Each structure stands twice: as C-alpha cells, then as structure tokens.
Amino acid sequence: MADAIVFEDFFPAMVDKLGAEGFMKELCNGFRLLMDGEKGMITFESLKRNLALLGLQDMDDDEVVCMLREGDLNGDGGLDEMEFCTLMFRLSPALMKSSKSLLEEALVTEV
C-alpha cells in the first residue's frame, strides 16, 4: 500500500525548508487537523472527512482502513499523535533514513 501514497519527494523537501523542529511542528499540526476532536485521535471517520486537506480525497475506503491499520500500533482503532508521526515517517523511506535520530528524539520529547 505504501506506493499508493508517495511522500518521498515531499517530506525531505519540507525538512530542508522548515528544519527538523519546524517539520515536527507541521506533523503535529497535521495531526490536529485530521483528528477527531472528541476522541483526541485520528479515526476512520475523521480521516475520511479531512483527506482533502492532504490532497488525498481520491483515496478509497480500503486504503484509508489500510493506512489506519498500518499506523495503529496499540490496536485501539485510531491513531494518536505518536502513531501518526511514526506512520508519516514510515511512509517516507528517504526521510526515515536521513532523519531516524530526529524521529527518535521527537518521540522521546513528546512522550
């Protein structure tokens, strides 16, 4: 499913532009845009509702479900902030490679 959503060219460019800290802030902003305000996490419904914000309005339900399943590390059916950031990094292998320490640092400070 990873090739359905291609962030590879996009994310490293963002990191270059925003810097590591700015990029993490953007990710967190993205999470807040996509999450269900009541549950405090990204659910199928909130993701569907906000896909257009990511330019992914053409994603079908199966892909949305896959993305959620892929990212839902603790199995509660939604993505919390950490799961979302982790998923975004996993969808961008180039970024993952170049910024592994960035991610680890960010996760440590967020938690």
Interface ranges with Ca ion (CB under 5 A) = 72, 74, 76, 83
What letter does residue 45 receive in the DSSP assignment? Answer: H
What residues have CB less than 8 Å from 44, skipping those under 6 apart? 64, 65, 68, 77
Of 19 and 40, the one with the shorter C-beta distance to Ca ion is 40
Q: Per DSSP, what are the bridge partners of residue 41?
A: 36
Instruction: State how far the Cα of 49 lies from the Cα of 107, in Å rounded to an integer.
Output: 27
Of 33 and 52, the one with the shorter C-beta distance to Ca ion is 33
Of 17 and 69, the one with the shorter C-beta distance to Ca ion is 69
**CA angle, 50 then 55 then 24, to 5°:** 75
Reading the block at residue 55, the tokens are 């330019």
Of 45 and 76, the one with the shorter C-beta distance to Ca ion is 76
Q: Whole-number minimum distance, CB 58 to Ca ion, in Å?
A: 25
Q: Whole-number minimum distance, CB 77 to Ca ion, in Å?
A: 7
